[in-house]
């Protein structure tokens, strides 16, 4: 998140001891080296998440909890990278996704009204996977200077265990290669991390996610 190129969804901004990533309806605080809750609350918009990694201050978690923060519904993510070609998947076609396809897939899988995808831009790229011509899943790639970040991989329940997620990873690898930055970076949840292990990704660290409930109430 700290290293994605600026886009309509993510604008990383260097601060004293952390990076504040501003979005249209949410804020992320990442690469935390110093905890400054008041400073973040003064400029954060919408839901605010703090991502604590191995280089965060030892007392960062206790400081956030004392200030009223709670663990996110997804409390931990695994930082992973891939520098070699993931295997191909048969029977799944991947192409560019429309905004309507992304919106419909995320709403079906996540069970709530997702944010509309951003307008087309040169940094964020959406992919659709099709099985026998039917939409099976969608995923996003966000460009970095030296790689590509994987975000928002979603597979419709009826198409799970058919290689859809793997095909979406492979398509984003091909995108990274095409822009001459053959590196994939992801903060993976519990469901996707084991799949990515099998695709050649390497685990590096765990990130602990906290949500600023009090700050949210003020927005």
Say if residue 133 is exposed, middle or buried (CB neighbours under 10 Å; 0-12, 13-18, 19+): exposed
Q: What is the pLDDT of residues 116-141, one digit of tens each?
A: 777 789 999 999 999 999 999 999 99
Whether residue 136 is found in the same domain as residue 170: yes
Whether residue 70 is found in the same domain as residue 22: yes
> Which pLDDT score, from 0 to 100, does residue 65 have?
97
Question: Which residue did the predictor score with more confidence, 115 or 27?
Answer: 27
Contact partners, residue 195, CB within 8 Å, separation at least 6: 165, 166
Structural domain harbouring 29: 11-78+206-217
Whether residue 56 is found in the same domain as residue 88: no
Confidence label for 145 from pLDDT (cuts 50, 70 and 90): very high
Whether residue 154 is found in the same domain as residue 114: yes
Residue 152 is assigned to a structural domain of this protein: yes
Q: What is the pLDDT of residues 163-208, one digit of tens each?
A: 999 999 999 999 999 999 999 999 999 989 999 999 999 999 999 9
What is d(CA 144, CA 31) in angstroms, rounded to the nearest whole number?
Answer: 16
> Which pLDDT score, from 0 to 100, does residue 113 have?
67
Which H or E run includes 14? strand 11-15
Share of the chain above pLDDT 70, in %: 95
Please say if the pLDDT value at position 94 is more than 80: yes
Would you say 12 and 19 are in contact if contact means Cβ atoms under 8 Å apart? Answer: yes
Residue 129 is assigned to a structural domain of this protein: yes
Tokens standing for residue 210: 């906290």
Whether residue 103 is found in the same domain as residue 176: yes
Residue 188 is assigned to a structural domain of this protein: no
Beta strands across the sheet bearing 93-96: 11-15, 18-22, 26-30, 47-52, 202-211, 70-82, 184-188, 148-155, 134-143, 124-131, 93-96
Alpha carbon 203 to chain centroid distance? 16
Whether residue 74 is found in the same domain as residue 96: no
Q: What is the pLDDT of residues 53-74, one digit of tens each?
A: 999 999 999 999 999 999 999 9
Q: What is the pTM of this model?
A: 0.91
Whether residue 91 is found in the same domain as residue 36: no
Whether residue 88 is found in the same domain as residue 177: yes
Please say if the pLDDT value at position 218 is more than 50: no
When the pLDDT of each residue in the chain is averaged and rounded to a whole number, the result is 94
Residue 3 is assigned to a structural domain of this protein: no
Whether residue 112 is found in the same domain as residue 176: yes
Whether residue 90 is found in the same domain as residue 71: no
Whether residue 44 is found in the same domain as residue 122: no
Residue 134 is assigned to a structural domain of this protein: yes
Sequence-ordered alpha helix ranges (H) in the chain? 37-43, 60-66, 99-110, 164-178, 192-198, 213-217
Residue 22 is assigned to a structural domain of this protein: yes
Whether residue 67 is found in the same domain as residue 157: no
Residue 189 is assigned to a structural domain of this protein: no
Confidence label for 219 from pLDDT (cuts 50, 70 and 90): very low
Placement of tokens 């903060």 in the chain:
187
Domain CATH code at residue 128: 3.40.630.30
Residue 1 is assigned to a structural domain of this protein: no
Please say if the pLDDT value at position 217 is more than 50: no
Number of folded domains in the chain? 2
């Amino acid at each position: 998140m700290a290293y994605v190129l600026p886009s309509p969804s993510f604008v990383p901004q260097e601060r004293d001891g952390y990076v504040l990533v501003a979005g249209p309806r949410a804020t992320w605080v990442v690469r935390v080296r110093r905890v400054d809750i008041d400073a973040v609350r003064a400029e954060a918009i919408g839901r605010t998440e703090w991502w604590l990694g191995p280089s965060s201050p030892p007392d960062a978690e206790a400081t956030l909890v004392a200030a009223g923060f709670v663990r996110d519904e997804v409390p931990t993510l695994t930082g992973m990278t891939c520098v070699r070609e993931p295997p191909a998947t048969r029977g799944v076609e991947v192409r560019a996704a429309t905004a309507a396809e992304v919106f419909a897939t995320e709403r079906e899988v996540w069970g709530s009204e997702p944010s509309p995808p951003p307008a087309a831009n040169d940094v964020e790229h959406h992919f659709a996977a099709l099985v026998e011509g039917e939409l099976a899943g969608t995923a996003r790639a966000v460009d970095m200077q030296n790689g590509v970040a994987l975000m928002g991989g979603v597979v419709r329940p009826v198409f799970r265990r058919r290689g859809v997620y793997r095909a979406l990873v492979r398509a984003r690898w091909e995108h990274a290669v095409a822009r001459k930055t053959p590196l994939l970076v992801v903060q993976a949840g519990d469901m996707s991390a084991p799949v990515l292990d099998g695709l050649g990704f390497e685990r590096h660290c765990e990130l602990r996610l906290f949500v600023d409930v009090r700050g949210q109430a003020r927005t």
